[in-house]
């Protein structure tokens, strides 16, 4: 796994949460096109990276099929480790997802030669880390 260094986040509860997909390959996510693992170009509408309090993670996208239907697709899932400076995603299913950079509130992930930029939305008051599973 490629790991990202971060000095802004300090523990598992601060990194846990849901991150919204903002950009894919430096293009705004809505209407962005990526090539899937079988070579088909798909149009994206939304996506998320969820880091749960139990240390599991899920990386999902919402894509538009050729007939206009919206489909939810889990790109990668597994568990993560976070030591206060380094985030590592360890997949149990789906694409290998490598963290290339972690900045305050932003996580950059590379999966299947695509670069995904996720941003953690601020909630007032802050909520506890999601308990998935």
Contact 22, 115 (CB under 8 A): no
* Pairing mode of beta strands 70-82, 86-94: antiparallel
Structural domains of the chain, ranges and CATH numbers in brackets: 4-120 (2.40.128)
pLDDT at position 21: 93
pLDDT at position 37: 65
Which pTM does this prediction carry?
Answer: 0.77
pLDDT at position 9: 44
Strand (E) or helix (H) holding 114 = strand 114-120
pLDDT at position 123: 61
Intervals of the chain under pLDDT 70: 1-13, 36-37, 122-131, 133
> Which tokens in the block code for residue 1?
């796994």
């Amino acid at each position: 796994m490629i790991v990202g260094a971060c000095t802004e986040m300090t523990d598992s509860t601060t990194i846990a949460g849901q991150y919204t997909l903002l950009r894919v390959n430096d293009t705004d996510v809505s209407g962005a096109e990526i090539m899937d693992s079988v070579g088909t170009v798909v149009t994206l509408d939304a996506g998320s990276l969820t880091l749960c309090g139990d240390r599991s993670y899920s990386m999902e996208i919402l894509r538009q099929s050729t007939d206009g239907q919206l489909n939810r697709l889990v790109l990668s899932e597994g568990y993560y480790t976070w030591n206060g400076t380094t985030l590592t995603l360890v997949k149990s299913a789906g694409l290998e997802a490598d963290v290339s950079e972690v900045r305050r509130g932003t996580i950059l992930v590379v999966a299947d030669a695509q670069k995904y930029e996720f941003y953690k939305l601020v909630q007032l008051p802050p909520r506890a880390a999601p308990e998935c599973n």
